[in-house]
A and B are shown apart, each in its own frame.
Chain A
Amino acid sequence: MTEQTTRLVLPSHIEAVGEAAAAVTDFVQSCGIGEDAAFGIGMAVREAVTNAMVHGNQEDDTKSVEVVFNCLGNALEIEVRDQGAGFDPTGVPDPTDPVNILKTSGRGIFLIRSFMDEVEWFGRPEGGTTVRMVKKF
């Protein structure tokens, strides 16, 4: 597996989520990742990019979402960066709790955590939020 990096800058339109999904599909193939792991990674990236566009940047045309893929020796690291007001992941309720099970939203972060080995959110000094996700092999 060769170390490589790809960087993508997307407008804050949900139509561009598909572009991120296509990029992650190409990237995981070039990293030699198997189909099962690729599905989960693709889903995590879709959810993170959707959150960045919709909740982070509020679909503001003047703001962009940056996605950086790093294929390391034994892991894939992905960062999704928005230019929003910040995000507190501890405030998101568990969507599998019976009181939340029929809610129509709030499953994106749960799915990201389900499919990736490490997930962390941090504020950026220049503003906005980065979510860093790692899948180990």
Chain B
Amino acid sequence: MAELNIRERQAGDITVLDMDGRITIGEGSVALRSAIRRLLEEGKKQILLNLAGVGYIDSSGIGELVSSYTAINKEAGELKLLSLTQKLRDLLTITKLLTVFDAYETESDALSSFK
């Protein structure tokens, strides 16, 4: 079984990635990077990462979230986060990255926040 499974769906112009597994150095981080690159190549720049199924993330995975954020911003797009687990929320709090990312608890709130 893959370290990180990513399912893609559309909600209007917004692409939702439902992620299940772990975002850690190696396979998980690479899977996220590949998915974001592919979406940008397809011109999909409004992206919502549903992290409800992500039980673990390491510093490499956190770095990949930051890399995704900057890559999408550079293309004048938006990246937002949905359904952080408590542990992930704690990690983004201590690394002060919750001041950078827009994170939402419900999908409807997240979707309506896109410009």
Contacts and interface: CB of A to CB of B under 8 A. Distances in A.
**Dominant SS among interface residues on chain A:** helix
A108 B25 CA distance: 11
Contact of B25 (A50, A95, A101): A50
Number of contact residues on B: which range applies?
A: 20 to 34
B95 A46 contact: no
Contacts of A103: 63, 66
Given A17-B25, A50-B58, A105 B63 contact: yes
Range of interface residues on A (Cβ < 8 Å): 20 to 34
A101 B100 contact: yes
A29 interface: no
B95 A95 contact: yes
Interface of A: 14-15, 17-18, 39, 43, 46-47, 50, 54, 95-96, 101-105, 107-108, 110-111, 114
22 contacts: A14-B25, A14-B26, A17-B24, A17-B25, A17-B26, A18-B24, A50-B59, A50-B60, A54-B25, A101-B96, A101-B97, A102-B100, A103-B63, A103-B66, A107-B59, A107-B62, A107-B63, A108-B59, A110-B59, A110-B95, A111-B95, A114-B94
Interface of B: 24-26, 58-60, 62-64, 66-67, 69-70, 87, 91, 94-97, 99-100
